[in-house]
Amino acid sequence: MPGTEFSIEQEEIDSQIRIIHVNGFLDAHTFQNLDDVIMNVFREGIYKIGINLENVNYISSAGAGVFIGTHGPAKESGGDLILINPMESVIRVFELLGITQLFTIVKSIDEAVAHFR
Amino acid sequence: MPEDMKRRLVIPNDTKYLNTVRDFVVEVVANSAFPKIDMGRIVLAVDEAVTNIIEHAYSHKREGEVDIQLELQANATKFEAFIHDSGIHFNPTEISNPNMEHHVATGKKKGLGIFLMRQIMDIVEYEFEEGVVNRLRLVKYVNPEDKDKDPHKKKSD
Protein backbone atom coordinates (compact mmCIF):
# COMPACT_ATOMS: atom_id res chain seq x y z
CA MET A 1 0.00 0.00 0.00
CA PRO A 2 1.42 3.39 -0.95
CA GLY A 3 2.54 5.59 1.93
CA THR A 4 2.16 2.99 4.66
CA GLU A 5 5.85 3.14 5.58
CA PHE A 6 5.37 6.55 7.18
CA SER A 7 5.53 6.80 10.96
CA ILE A 8 6.30 9.33 13.68
CA GLU A 9 7.53 8.69 17.21
CA GLN A 10 8.24 11.15 19.97
CA GLU A 11 11.02 11.02 22.53
CA GLU A 12 10.87 13.17 25.66
CA ILE A 13 14.36 14.30 26.60
CA ASP A 14 13.11 16.48 29.46
CA SER A 15 10.23 18.84 30.12
CA GLN A 16 11.59 21.37 27.62
CA ILE A 17 13.09 19.29 24.83
CA ARG A 18 11.32 16.91 22.47
CA ILE A 19 12.79 14.77 19.69
CA ILE A 20 10.44 13.74 16.90
CA HIS A 21 11.57 10.71 14.92
CA VAL A 22 10.19 10.60 11.38
CA ASN A 23 10.34 7.51 9.17
CA GLY A 24 9.50 7.17 5.49
CA PHE A 25 8.44 9.67 2.86
CA LEU A 26 7.60 13.23 3.78
CA ASP A 27 5.33 14.29 0.93
CA ALA A 28 1.89 15.80 0.25
CA HIS A 29 0.28 12.66 1.63
CA THR A 30 2.14 12.53 4.93
CA PHE A 31 3.20 16.10 5.79
CA GLN A 32 -0.01 16.94 7.67
CA ASN A 33 0.68 14.17 10.21
CA LEU A 34 4.03 15.73 11.09
CA ASP A 35 2.58 19.23 11.15
CA ASP A 36 -0.14 18.07 13.56
CA VAL A 37 2.43 16.44 15.86
CA ILE A 38 4.60 19.58 15.97
CA MET A 39 1.58 21.83 16.62
CA ASN A 40 0.54 19.53 19.48
CA VAL A 41 4.04 19.74 20.97
CA PHE A 42 3.75 23.56 20.78
CA ARG A 43 0.43 23.29 22.63
CA GLU A 44 2.24 21.42 25.41
CA GLY A 45 4.44 24.51 25.74
CA ILE A 46 7.51 22.81 24.28
CA TYR A 47 9.43 24.79 21.66
CA LYS A 48 12.83 23.07 21.66
CA ILE A 49 12.22 20.45 19.04
CA GLY A 50 14.65 18.22 17.17
CA ILE A 51 13.35 16.48 14.08
CA ASN A 52 15.24 13.24 13.49
CA LEU A 53 15.34 12.84 9.70
CA GLU A 54 17.88 10.02 9.44
CA ASN A 55 15.15 7.64 8.23
CA VAL A 56 13.45 10.07 5.85
CA ASN A 57 14.59 9.13 2.36
CA TYR A 58 12.39 11.55 0.44
CA ILE A 59 10.97 14.99 1.00
CA SER A 60 8.88 17.19 -1.31
CA SER A 61 7.95 20.85 -0.95
CA ALA A 62 4.97 19.84 1.22
CA GLY A 63 7.35 18.28 3.74
CA ALA A 64 9.78 21.19 3.63
CA GLY A 65 6.81 23.51 4.15
CA VAL A 66 6.21 21.97 7.59
CA PHE A 67 9.67 23.08 8.72
CA ILE A 68 9.32 26.53 7.14
CA GLY A 69 5.98 27.00 8.88
CA THR A 70 7.00 25.83 12.35
CA HIS A 71 10.57 27.11 12.57
CA GLY A 72 9.51 30.75 13.17
CA PRO A 73 6.99 30.07 15.96
CA ALA A 74 9.53 27.84 17.75
CA LYS A 75 12.15 30.61 17.65
CA GLU A 76 9.72 33.32 18.67
CA SER A 77 8.82 31.28 21.75
CA GLY A 78 12.43 30.95 22.88
CA GLY A 79 13.10 27.58 21.32
CA ASP A 80 14.23 26.26 17.98
CA LEU A 81 13.31 23.59 15.49
CA ILE A 82 16.46 21.82 14.38
CA LEU A 83 17.04 19.01 11.91
CA ILE A 84 18.95 15.89 12.91
CA ASN A 85 21.03 13.93 10.41
CA PRO A 86 19.08 14.52 7.17
CA MET A 87 20.14 12.48 4.14
CA GLU A 88 21.95 14.18 1.26
CA SER A 89 18.84 13.82 -0.91
CA VAL A 90 16.80 15.76 1.66
CA ILE A 91 19.44 18.48 1.99
CA ARG A 92 19.44 18.86 -1.81
CA VAL A 93 15.73 19.74 -1.73
CA PHE A 94 16.41 22.40 0.90
CA GLU A 95 19.18 23.71 -1.36
CA LEU A 96 16.83 23.87 -4.36
CA LEU A 97 14.40 25.88 -2.23
CA GLY A 98 17.20 28.12 -0.99
CA ILE A 99 16.36 27.55 2.69
CA THR A 100 19.37 25.53 3.89
CA GLN A 101 20.75 28.43 5.93
CA LEU A 102 17.46 28.82 7.77
CA PHE A 103 17.90 25.68 9.83
CA THR A 104 20.39 24.41 12.34
CA ILE A 105 21.38 20.96 11.14
CA VAL A 106 23.16 18.55 13.50
CA LYS A 107 24.48 15.00 13.15
CA SER A 108 23.01 13.33 16.23
CA ILE A 109 20.39 13.53 18.96
CA ASP A 110 23.16 14.21 21.51
CA GLU A 111 24.27 17.19 19.44
CA ALA A 112 20.67 18.43 19.24
CA VAL A 113 20.26 18.17 23.02
CA ALA A 114 23.57 19.96 23.58
CA HIS A 115 22.40 22.74 21.23
CA PHE A 116 19.25 23.24 23.29
CA ARG A 117 21.05 23.18 26.66
CA MET B 1 11.76 -2.36 -24.97
CA PRO B 2 12.77 0.53 -27.27
CA GLU B 3 14.26 3.31 -25.21
CA ASP B 4 11.89 5.89 -26.71
CA MET B 5 8.74 3.95 -25.83
CA LYS B 6 6.26 5.99 -23.80
CA ARG B 7 5.25 4.47 -20.48
CA ARG B 8 1.76 5.22 -19.17
CA LEU B 9 0.37 5.32 -15.63
CA VAL B 10 -3.13 6.30 -14.53
CA ILE B 11 -3.75 7.11 -10.87
CA PRO B 12 -6.78 8.37 -8.94
CA ASN B 13 -6.64 11.94 -7.58
CA ASP B 14 -5.36 10.89 -4.20
CA THR B 15 -2.01 11.81 -2.65
CA LYS B 16 -1.59 8.27 -1.36
CA TYR B 17 -0.59 7.34 -4.94
CA LEU B 18 2.34 9.77 -5.01
CA ASN B 19 4.61 6.94 -3.95
CA THR B 20 3.41 4.93 -6.96
CA VAL B 21 4.12 7.93 -9.20
CA ARG B 22 7.65 8.28 -7.81
CA ASP B 23 8.40 4.58 -8.31
CA PHE B 24 7.11 4.86 -11.89
CA VAL B 25 9.37 7.83 -12.65
CA VAL B 26 12.38 5.97 -11.23
CA GLU B 27 11.62 2.98 -13.49
CA VAL B 28 11.48 5.20 -16.57
CA VAL B 29 14.51 7.35 -15.76
CA ALA B 30 16.61 4.35 -14.70
CA ASN B 31 17.20 3.45 -18.36
CA SER B 32 18.26 6.96 -19.33
CA ALA B 33 21.59 8.74 -19.25
CA PHE B 34 20.76 10.97 -16.29
CA PRO B 35 23.09 10.92 -13.29
CA LYS B 36 21.54 9.83 -9.97
CA ILE B 37 21.31 13.39 -8.66
CA ASP B 38 19.17 14.41 -11.65
CA MET B 39 17.02 11.31 -11.28
CA GLY B 40 16.07 12.43 -7.77
CA ARG B 41 15.25 15.90 -9.03
CA ILE B 42 13.09 14.60 -11.87
CA VAL B 43 11.17 12.39 -9.42
CA LEU B 44 10.61 15.45 -7.24
CA ALA B 45 9.42 17.61 -10.17
CA VAL B 46 6.85 15.04 -11.30
CA ASP B 47 5.69 14.54 -7.70
CA GLU B 48 5.19 18.31 -7.38
CA ALA B 49 3.29 18.46 -10.70
CA VAL B 50 0.91 15.65 -9.71
CA THR B 51 0.49 17.07 -6.19
CA ASN B 52 -0.43 20.41 -7.72
CA ILE B 53 -3.08 18.81 -9.94
CA ILE B 54 -4.59 16.91 -6.99
CA GLU B 55 -4.68 20.06 -4.84
CA HIS B 56 -5.87 22.56 -7.47
CA ALA B 57 -7.49 20.86 -10.45
CA TYR B 58 -9.49 18.49 -8.29
CA SER B 59 -9.97 20.52 -5.13
CA HIS B 60 -13.76 20.28 -5.71
CA LYS B 61 -13.71 16.48 -6.04
CA ARG B 62 -13.43 13.79 -3.44
CA GLU B 63 -10.16 11.90 -3.26
CA GLY B 64 -10.00 8.99 -5.67
CA GLU B 65 -12.98 10.15 -7.73
CA VAL B 66 -11.17 11.03 -10.97
CA ASP B 67 -7.99 10.03 -12.77
CA ILE B 68 -4.68 11.65 -13.65
CA GLN B 69 -2.77 10.21 -16.58
CA LEU B 70 1.01 10.28 -16.89
CA GLU B 71 2.96 9.46 -20.04
CA LEU B 72 6.71 9.36 -19.51
CA GLN B 73 9.69 8.64 -21.70
CA ALA B 74 13.42 8.90 -21.25
CA ASN B 75 16.33 8.30 -23.57
CA ALA B 76 19.97 9.21 -23.99
CA THR B 77 19.24 12.92 -24.33
CA LYS B 78 16.11 13.78 -22.34
CA PHE B 79 13.24 12.94 -20.01
CA GLU B 80 9.77 14.01 -21.07
CA ALA B 81 6.49 13.83 -19.15
CA PHE B 82 2.97 14.55 -20.33
CA ILE B 83 0.50 14.80 -17.47
CA HIS B 84 -3.19 14.97 -18.36
CA ASP B 85 -6.13 15.74 -16.11
CA SER B 86 -9.70 16.86 -16.59
CA GLY B 87 -10.00 19.09 -13.53
CA ILE B 88 -10.18 22.84 -13.05
CA HIS B 89 -7.88 24.74 -15.40
CA PHE B 90 -4.82 25.83 -13.42
CA ASN B 91 -1.80 27.07 -15.31
CA PRO B 92 1.38 26.61 -13.25
CA THR B 93 3.42 28.59 -15.80
CA GLU B 94 1.45 31.74 -14.84
CA ILE B 95 2.35 31.52 -11.16
CA SER B 96 5.13 33.84 -9.98
CA ASN B 97 8.09 32.46 -8.09
CA PRO B 98 7.64 32.83 -4.34
CA ASN B 99 9.45 35.52 -2.36
CA MET B 100 11.29 33.07 -0.13
CA GLU B 101 12.14 35.63 2.55
CA HIS B 102 8.44 36.51 2.87
CA HIS B 103 7.54 32.82 2.81
CA VAL B 104 9.86 32.12 5.71
CA ALA B 105 9.00 35.30 7.66
CA THR B 106 5.29 34.54 7.51
CA GLY B 107 5.66 30.80 8.07
CA LYS B 108 3.75 30.01 4.89
CA LYS B 109 3.76 26.26 4.36
CA LYS B 110 2.41 25.95 0.82
CA GLY B 111 3.11 27.28 -2.64
CA LEU B 112 6.63 25.97 -3.24
CA GLY B 113 5.92 23.02 -5.53
CA ILE B 114 5.61 24.94 -8.79
CA PHE B 115 8.79 26.84 -7.96
CA LEU B 116 10.65 23.55 -7.44
CA MET B 117 9.20 22.08 -10.64
CA ARG B 118 10.47 25.08 -12.62
CA GLN B 119 13.84 25.02 -10.85
CA ILE B 120 14.37 21.42 -11.93
CA MET B 121 12.88 21.07 -15.40
CA ASP B 122 14.23 22.77 -18.53
CA ILE B 123 10.78 23.14 -20.09
CA VAL B 124 7.39 23.48 -18.37
CA GLU B 125 4.49 23.95 -20.78
CA TYR B 126 0.77 23.96 -20.13
CA GLU B 127 -2.23 23.93 -22.42
CA PHE B 128 -5.89 23.20 -21.87
CA GLU B 129 -9.19 22.65 -23.60
CA GLU B 130 -11.70 24.20 -21.22
CA GLY B 131 -13.62 21.52 -19.38
CA VAL B 132 -12.06 18.74 -21.45
CA VAL B 133 -8.39 18.24 -20.67
CA ASN B 134 -5.39 20.01 -19.15
CA ARG B 135 -1.99 19.00 -20.46
CA LEU B 136 1.27 19.66 -18.66
CA ARG B 137 4.52 18.92 -20.45
CA LEU B 138 7.78 18.69 -18.50
CA VAL B 139 11.15 18.18 -20.16
CA LYS B 140 14.62 17.82 -18.75
CA TYR B 141 17.67 17.41 -20.94
CA VAL B 142 20.78 15.48 -20.02
CA ASN B 143 22.62 18.41 -21.58
CA PRO B 144 20.62 21.57 -20.68
CA GLU B 145 21.88 23.33 -23.81
CA ASP B 146 19.72 20.95 -25.88
CA LYS B 147 16.69 22.87 -24.60
CA ASP B 148 17.11 25.26 -27.53
CA LYS B 149 16.63 22.38 -29.98
CA ASP B 150 13.26 21.34 -28.51
CA PRO B 151 10.85 20.87 -31.45
CA HIS B 152 7.86 22.11 -29.40
CA LYS B 153 9.73 24.95 -27.74
CA LYS B 154 7.76 28.16 -27.39
CA LYS B 155 9.46 31.50 -27.92
CA SER B 156 8.76 32.50 -24.32
CA ASP B 157 10.79 29.61 -22.85
Contact B140, B38 (CB under 8 A): yes
Beta strand pairing call for A48-59 and A80-84: parallel
pTM: 0.90
Contact A41, B30 (CB under 8 A): no
Q: Which of A1, A60, A68 sits opposite B44 (nearest CB)?
A: A60
* Per-residue pLDDT of chain B in tens (157 residues, 90 and over written 9): 455 678 999 999 899 999 999 999 999 999 788 999 999 999 999 999 999 999 887 666 666 667 899 999 999 999 999 999 988 877 777 777 887 778 777 878 788 899 999 999 999 999 888 777 889 999 999 987 787 777 766 544 4
A114: enclosing H helix or E strand: helix A109-116
B25: enclosing H helix or E strand: helix B18-30
Whether A60 and B47 lie within 8 Å, measured CB to CB: yes
Enumerate residues 52 to 91 of chain B having a beta carbon within 8 A of any beta carbon in chain A: 54-55
Classified by CATH at the fold level, domain B7-144 comes out as Heat Shock Protein 90 (3.30.565)
Domain boundaries defined on chain B: 7-144
Q: How far is B1 from chain A (nearest CA, A)?
A: 27
Domain boundaries defined on chain A: 11-116
Give per-residue pLDDT as tens, A46-86. 999 999 999 999 999 999 999 999 999 999 999 999 999 99
What architecture (CATH level 2) is domain A11-116?
2-Layer Sandwich (3.30)
3-class SS of residue A115: helix
